[in-house]
Amino acid sequence: MKFYKIAYIAVGVILLAACILTADKGLSQEDRQVYEQANRMQEEMQEHGFRDLILSEYKVRFFDGDYDYVMNGTEVIREDPVFQTFVGTAYEVEGEYQIVMPTLERFSQMFGILGAAGGLSQGSTSFETAAYGMEEHIATLWHEGFHAYQFTHYEENVLKLAVGLEGEGNPVLTAIDGDTAAVSLFEEGMGLLRTAYYEEDTELKIEILLQYLDKQQERDKLLTQSNTEMDLTAAERYYETIEGTARYMESLAYELQKGTGQMEVYYLGAFTYENGTDKYYSLGMLKCRILSQLTEGWEERFNFSQGIDEFFGETIFMGQLADYDI
Amino acid sequence: MMIIIKNAIRERMRKKEIYVFAALGILLLLLFGGGSTTLQINGVPVTDFSNMFGIMHGMVTVIGCLLALLISLQTIPNEYERRTSHLVWVRGISQTSYHTSLALANFLSGVIAVGILYMALAVYVIGNGETGVLIRMIPAFLILCINIGIISLLTSVLSIKLPAAVSGLIGAIVVIGGLLYGILDTYRSIMGGFTGSLLGMALRVLPDFNQIRAQSAAICKGGSIEWHGILAGLLTIYILSIGLVCLKRKEA
């Protein structure tokens, strides 16, 4: 009997020890691969996008629901989380901007929960629930990495673009989304931009873009007249510039991994107007892509001192295109 | 002890509702596997084997857990109600041995019932010519038995002291919570604050049935497994077994 008691206790001790020893898994291999693979794309990304964006300059904080796993090169350190919830952003930690994002496992789970409930429709992502995997997470890492770059190199300019937005983002968006005429003009504008993107004849492309600029001017006028208390167009320019350029980099990272066809399926599929900020991600990205079609290396001239919209308009209107006489 | 276990299993197998439940489960599996359903994910029909097998394996886990709960619920209360227990005491068998035998019988009955469901899954696998998966299903089934063990033991231990309805309710909450463990854990992290802390405390005591299911499915697919979830499941069984030693009925 005594033997059975000792054996029973021993089994418990062994099980407990085995559980403790296997409990702390740290950062998964998949997340390490996401980080490493994203950094391996550096050279190709530089060729296609903003040349002075070096992803490895920014530490990446993978949040697993309990801790942040901070990756810097091959080093991984477990730290208390800077956010107690799942966010994808760039955040200043100890005087430097770092990339904050959920682990791949957590993000995939979030798609399962929130994606099904429609909770991920607010600008956060462009992927379908069942499709989110390593390639998509790498693209997201480049998106958030671009935010870290924006704030590290152009913080002053970015903050100037954000003037008037602090603490009042939602009323501004509510006012914009509530204006049915403005919504309709936005949809028409997106339609023209999409047509321009797929148009191979450059002259025709420019013609369509000029139509778009007219449409946008009409919309800006409408929004300015309909609400004199808030600067609605400034809010739009901010989101379009900051998030649109980041989405552009994200789409480039995705394109490099999955090809142009697959990228167009995800990023340039049928447009549906949604309340909130999501539409500005798509709008800004589309403008960046059209700029890349028309003028190579535009990224080197863009420093966030003006909105992407203004830069886009100037590039087309003022004959700054390198190869075309407008 | 063996006689008690044998008799208890025999009695469990006589329950009609178990067969009805198992038959419904098999029917559901055959419905999915037979291609007579139009189940879709994101507009894409799920017809290929790897997708269908994952769904069916998940179904076996859910139905199996509920079967194990149903089987274990009334064993101990019924024994005391019918005064069968007195026949055991006169033979000098201790309460701990008696309860352990009944709990073991519950577990083995659960394993047999889930095994029947697993056979239906095996038929689907053979039908698709996936003999490699068929072989891997054997260790996968053993892993899945950890879930059955936790539920059988939890319900058995609770039913020593509580009425069947109460232990059934607690068991059902644990089964649902344990199967949704991953989702609840993600919610906990999303919510944070007081609700997050409260959910975090609940998750500390809930067994992670979903993790064990995932490891079982990983074995079937030939993937690597994470031992922590399996070991944590075995530790849960061990901790619950202490209840069999400590909890006693007054009428004994």
3-state SS track over B32-58: HHCCCCCCEECCEECCCHHHHHHHHHH
pLDDT tens digits for range A254-276: 999 999 998 998 898 888 888 88
pLDDT of residue A2: 79
Mean pLDDT of A269-294: 90
Helix residue ranges, H only, B73-130: 75-81, 84-89, 95-127
User: Which run of H or of E encompasses A273?
Assistant: none
pLDDT tens digits for range B141-173: 999 999 999 999 999 999 988 888 899 999 999
pLDDT band at residue A83 under the 50/70/90 scheme: confident
Let me know how long chain A is: 326
CB atoms within 10 A of CB B138: 11
User: Chain A residues contacting B, CB < 8 Å?
Assistant: 11-12, 15-16, 18-19, 22-23, 25, 63, 65-66, 84-86, 106, 109-110, 112-114, 128-131
Average predicted confidence (pLDDT) for chain B? 82
Contact B41 A66 (CB under 8 A): no
pLDDT band at residue B43 under the 50/70/90 scheme: very low
**Residue, of A23 and A248, whose pLDDT is higher:** A248
> Which chain A residue shows the shortest CA-CA distance from B51?
A130
% of chain B exceeding 90 in pLDDT: 23
Half-sphere exposure of A161 (CA within 13 A, CB side): 23
Chain B residues in contact with A114 by the CB 8 A cut-off are 190
Contact B191 A85 (CB under 8 A): yes
Mean pLDDT of A60-68: 91
Do the domain assignments include residue B49? yes
Q: Which three-class secondary structure state does DSSP give residue A84? A: coil
In chain A, how long is the greatest CA-to-CA distance?
97
Mean pLDDT of A114-127: 43
Question: Which residue is listed with tokens 């956010």?
Answer: A83
Do the domain assignments include residue B201? yes
- Domain with B162 in it: 2-246
Contact A86 B232 (CB under 8 A): no
Do the domain assignments include residue B10? yes
pLDDT of residue B155: 93
Do the domain assignments include residue B251? no
Chain B residues in contact with A119 by the CB 8 A cut-off are none
pLDDT band at residue A315 under the 50/70/90 scheme: confident
Q: Which two tokens stand for residue B2?
A: 């063996």
> What's the CA gap between A90 and A150, in Å, rounded?
9
Do the domain assignments include residue B226? yes
User: Does the structure show a pLDDT above 70 at B193?
Assistant: yes
Domain count of the fold of chain B: 1
User: Does the structure show a pLDDT above 50 at A119?
Assistant: no
In this structure, which amino acid lies at residue A121? S
Average predicted confidence (pLDDT) for chain A? 85
Q: What's this model's pTM, rounded to 2 decimal places?
A: 0.70
- List the single range of A132-136, A283-287, B46-50, B58-62 with lowest mean pLDDT: B46-50
Contact A110 B190 (CB under 8 A): yes
CB within 8 Å of A167: residues ≥ 6 apart: none
pLDDT of residue A112: 60
**Residue, of B193 and B63, whose pLDDT is higher:** B63
Do the domain assignments include residue B252? no
pLDDT of residue B39: 52
Do the domain assignments include residue B214? yes
- List the single range of A62-66, A239-243, A316-320 with lowest mean pLDDT: A316-320
pLDDT of residue B142: 94
What single string gives the DSSP state of each residue in A105-131? HHHHHHIIIIIHHTTTTTTT----GGG
Shortest distance between the Cα of B18 and any Cα of chain A, in A, equals 33
Mean pLDDT of A312-318: 79
Chain B residues in contact with A65 by the CB 8 A cut-off are 185-186, 188-189
CB A185 within 8 A of CB A218: yes
- Among A108-117, A281-290, B88-97, B187-196, name the most confident range: A281-290
The sign of the CA dihedral B140, B144, B145, B150 is: positive
B41 φ, ψ (degrees, to nearest 5): -125, 120
Do the domain assignments include residue B139? yes
What is the value of ipTM here, to two decimals?
0.80
